[in-house]
Chains A and B, each alone.
Chain A
Amino acid sequence: MIRLENVTKSYSTEVVAVRDASFDVAKGEFVFLVGPSGSGKSTLLRMLNRQDRPERGAVWVAGRNIVDMPPGRVPHLRRNIGNIFQDYKLLLEKSVFENVAFAQEVIGRPSHVINQQVPAVLELVGLAGKEDRLPHQLSGGEQQRVSIARAFVNRPLILLADEPTGNLDPGTGEGIMRLLDRINKTGTTVVMATHDQRIVNTMRKRVIQLDRGVIVRDQARGVYE
């Protein structure tokens, strides 16, 4: 589903965010990217949805090298990739329903599809009955669930999560991880960048560890270290 071949990305001559990174992620796999701040986890995720482009190497997503993909094709790539962020990136003036529906509206889904799929995904993430609430009327965990619902409502092949539990207490974080695990079990590939040692050690999924942009460990059913 994902393949990186000798990918290097730098932001200046001194700052190399990712250096010569190569790995494969199979369809339906759950992968943690771990490492200290500035190790290149977020840059890797940004390259997977073409927010950033590497100077060298190839990034294959769903069978296509996206490095040289024409800009006009990028939106179609992103329709197959869901994104979850530490700060949720919810639209504060829109209700829970509208936030999730927004992801379908902007790709031109008809309203009868939206009215059918949004309640279903809100049910899946445990937010049924809270459709009309605004983000500020929700807890942090609930806001992250809205963000997950928005990322998953278009049934993407891949879910990219950048520190999704970073702003949450451990109990709430565990709930989010259970949700991501459920989504992963539907066949969606999940790549998650995290600092959260406890979560990584509990989940026992594949772990790719980065240090100053270099992959230093790639371990199946790994732990944080």
Chain B
Amino acid sequence: MWSRVRYTLRETFDSFRRNATLTVAAIITAAISLLGVGLTLLSQHAFDNLLSRWEGGVEMIVFMRPTTTPDQFDLVERVLGEQTEFIESFTFCDATCSLAEADRVLAGEPGVRDLLDESNITTQFKAVPTEGTDIDLLRQLSTAFEELPSVYEVKFAEDQISLISQLQSFFGFRLLLLSGFLLFAAVLLIWNTIRTAIFARRREIEVMKLVGATDWFIRIPFMLEGLLHGIIGGAVASVGLWAWNSQWTSGVKEFPANSGFAALVVVDGYDQTVMLIMVVIGALAGAIGSGIAASRFLDI
């Protein structure tokens, strides 16, 4: 068993050495395409941070002052509950919930976030309109709310998120499409690298077959080689993603306060999940490319 493992590893690394140029090209292509996939996932998550307070079809948020009394809360709650024709449902986000939301929205502005606590954060009523409701009806209601002393402000999804949503879907789809093409190119390049490696070692393969090596025994070093191309590509892309995210996180402070960019920072460990996803996709791409090549071109 150990001799087989040693043989497989030796043959794999020998092949790496012999095919150095193609190997490097395959790894770079895989890394670039995986970085594209990673950036897409990361940017989508960053946009999700920005839009997190509007999840679940929320169209209007009534921000309540920290000093609001229970009676004042009851008043707003009762008014919202009475508008059954155009408000389907509403929820209350208390101080704990609002602080958790601030963790995401103010991720890029830790200084501002540090100033907030349960005593000074605004709580929120989030309203989901009935399907087909004219938002202007909600706006009329908001004018009435804004006159209440307990209401800090009223915000509408329409004002806040339409541009961001468009940007998210525009870039998300196109980045993913581009990454898909690049990933396909990476699979093809890995496939070609393995095919070249098989061709370069056709004499050895012929001898191996004649002395009774099984097809799987011959295939495994080539498949392992392709797998390593993908994994190394994924690891290189992870380093690139980490560098990108670090640069962005430190650079976002330069943007104007309250511009919304602070929310486009990923600090909840999701970047590590994306790195893992990239390595797994890389491994899959490598295994598919090399697996096809090793199965198809072994009869030489």
Which A residues form the contact surface with B (CB < 8 A)?
A: 49, 51, 71-72, 75-79, 83, 89, 91, 102-103, 105-111, 114, 150, 154
Contact = CB atoms under 8 A, between A and B. Distances in A.
Contacts of A71: 215
Contact of A106 (B2, B203, B208): B208
A106 B212 contact: yes
Interface string B1-43: 0111011000000000000000000000000000000000000
Interface string B200-236: 0001101111111111011000000000000000000
A150 B212 CA distance: 12
Contact of A108 (B4, B207, B215, B218): B4
B3 A105 contact: yes
The 6 closest A-B pairs by CB, nearest first: A79-B212, A106-B213, A78-B212, A103-B211, A75-B212, A75-B214
Nearest to B14: A93
Given A75-B213, A78-B210, A150-B211, A108 B3 contact: yes
Interface residue SS majority, chain B: helix
A106 B211 contact: yes
10 contacts: A75-B212, A76-B212, A79-B211, A79-B212, A102-B211, A105-B3, A106-B7, A107-B211, A107-B212, A110-B3
Given A105-B3, A105-B7, A78 B203 contact: no
Contacts of B214: 72, 75
A107 to B, nearest CB: 5
Contact of B204 (A83, A91, A108): A91
Contacts of B212: 75-79, 106-107, 154
Contacts of A89: 203, 206-207, 210
A78 B218 CA distance: 15
B295 to A, nearest CB: 13
Most buried by A among B203, B206, B211: B211
B251 to A, nearest CB: 51
B104 to A, nearest CB: 55
A14 B208 CA distance: 33
A102 B3 CA distance: 11
Contacts of A49: 210
Contact of A91 (B6, B203, B213, B215): B203
